[in-house]
Amino acid sequence: MTTLLSQRLIDARRQHLTLDALPPEQTPADAAAAYTIQHDILRVLEAPIGGWKIGAKSDSGPIQGAPLPAGDLHADGARLPREAFTPLGLELEIAFRFGRRFEPSATPYSEAEVRAGIGSIGAAIEIVASRYAGWPNVDKLAQLADLQNHGALIVGEFTPYHEDFPCVAPQLRFFFEGEDAVKATPANPAGDPRRLLTWLVNHATSRGIVVTPEMVVTTGSYTGMFFPQSAGTACGHIEGLAPLSLTLY
């Protein structure tokens, strides 16, 4: 059954609206309720899962994530309208694809099994957006229900994965119209983002969802969030991966 918050978030996505403050009775009671709302949104929108966003606030902290509608994934060089996203923040991230399928299983997949299943790696730019007018001062579980503030994902060319890739501290550049969009030392708050992948595989398969090689799994920002104040082009390059760009018009 679709909850009231599910329906409000669905309507907001369809109509590019923002929601006023949520009454307490509409706020998800726990993470399980927020994850149910995420999948309600994709089900009602008839949106297949094209990928996942996952992250953590520290290198040992709890992990959370959201499925990404396939229509929200775009190739390198995408041109997207600024007015479709409110607010609009940009993040440069590392994304993975698996080289195998992970089927639902009664036994959780081990970290070794998941790590061995990584097939390819690429750079991605996430557009962070929200359906809440009061963002970021919004209940964290309400944000989780809103696909963890997802707007769109621009996906660069993938390359075969090598275990020695410097996922913790890659060299990178991220610019918007010539302005440096990296305002602090580049780092992923989750530490090594590969640690997030086992959670994702078990989170999805425990819900009966197959994790496929076609799905893109993006793993959190190395650059913080940059808020462009105009139309223009963002260009990102993580050393060892193909560069990518996004134009906002």
Whole-number pLDDT of residue 1: 57
How high is the pLDDT of residue 183? 82
Distances (CA, A) of 238 to 21, 51, 175, 204: 38, 20, 12, 28
pLDDT of 115 reads 98
Torsion of CA 156, 161, 162, 164, to 10 degrees: 50
- Provide the pLDDT for residue 6: 95
What is the percent of the chain with per-residue pLDDT over 90, rounded to a whole number?
Answer: 94
Local structure of 145: helix, strand or coil: helix
Structure tokens at 127: 């557009």
Q: What is the pLDDT of residues 103-146, one digit of tens each?
A: 999 899 999 999 999 999 999 999 999 999 999 999 999 999 99
Contact 55, 190 (CB under 8 A): yes
pTM listed for this prediction: 0.96
Structure confidence by residue, pLDDT tens digits, 167-202:
999 999 999 999 999 988 999 999 999 999 999 999
Beta strands in 135-207 (DSSP E): 150-155, 159-160, 172-176, 179-180
DSSP-assigned beta bridge partners for residue 175: 180, 235
- The torsion angles phi and psi of 85, rounded to 5 degrees, stand at -130, 125
Cα angle 35, 38, 43; round to 5: 125
Domains observed in the chain: 4-248 (3.90.850.10)
